[in-house]
Amino acid sequence: MKQTHPSLLSRISLAFGTFFSILADGQFAARVQALRSGEPRSEPSAPAAARPAAVPLTEAEPDGALQLLGLLQREARFIDFVEEDVAAYADVDVGAAARVVHEGCRKVLRENFTIGAVRDEAEGSRVTLPAGFDAAAVRVTGNVVGQPPFTGSITHRGWRVRETRLPKLAAGHDLRIIAPAEVEL
């Protein structure tokens, strides 16, 4: 069912009804206040049978993330750059450093991953997302009303890792040491 924007008379009626509901119902007023301030929505409690089953969350193993962080530090001095307070430097100096970090990060990505676009269409292309589209691969933004199919324009094609080639590790290697301390003698 596609919803349209309410007419002026419908909006006036909605405004008056909402006004009096806010005055009469404190819980309703709190939900409206949260909505207006941009807080995440919290739905009123539904009966247990009506609630969707909670998806169990699994904890990600940190090894791959730590290994990638180590590679980014080794090739791009990524952590050094991010941890540096750049406010004291001139924009030209920050730009020069960013160029070196960008080059190193790009090298790490290209050597260790095959990355491709989620969508093949060019940015700006009009597309229709059917019912059941992969919401993990496509984020719908803007005035999202009703149920799919949705028609809109691609603002970002997205990225998907197609292959991972992280280096093998020696037994006993401590991944938490992403850059050893250096001591010059």
CA distance 54 to 74: 40
- Shared domain for 33 and 70, answered yes or no, is no
- Shared domain for 67 and 125, answered yes or no, is yes
- Shared domain for 19 and 78, answered yes or no, is no
pLDDT greater than 60 at residue 120: yes
Bigger pLDDT: 6 or 174?
Answer: 174
Q: pLDDT, tens digit, for every residue of 81-108?
A: 999 999 999 999 999 999 999 999 999 9
pLDDT greater than 90 at residue 136: yes
pLDDT for residue 44:
53
Q: Are 149 and 131 in contact (CB under 8 A)?
A: yes
Q: pLDDT, tens digit, for every residue of 3-38?
A: 566 666 556 666 656 766 676 777 777 787 888 887
In a domain, 157, yes or no: yes
- Shared domain for 32 and 92, answered yes or no, is no
pLDDT for residue 128:
96
Mean pLDDT lowest for which of 10-24, 50-64, 154-168? 10-24
- Shared domain for 29 and 67, answered yes or no, is no
CA distance 39 to 64: 33
- Name the residue among 67, 103, 96, 90 with its Cα closest to residue 175: 67
CA distance 110 to 108: 6
Q: Are 76 and 108 in contact (CB under 8 A)?
A: yes
- pLDDT exceeding 90 applies to what percent of the chain? 64
What does pTM read for this prediction? 0.64
Q: pLDDT, tens digit, for every residue of 39-52?
A: 766 555 555 556 67
In a domain, 171, yes or no: no
Domain assignment of residue 23, given as a range: 10-37
φ, ψ dihedrals at 114, nearest 5°: -110, 120
CA distance 91 to 134: 41
In a domain, 122, yes or no: yes
Residue 89: CA count within 13 A, CB half-sphere: 12
In a domain, 99, yes or no: yes
In a domain, 152, yes or no: yes
Q: Are 125 and 99 in contact (CB under 8 A)?
A: no
pLDDT for residue 140:
94
User: Positive or negative, the Cα torsion across 60, 64, 65, 67?
Assistant: positive
- Shared domain for 86 and 23, answered yes or no, is no
pLDDT for residue 13:
61
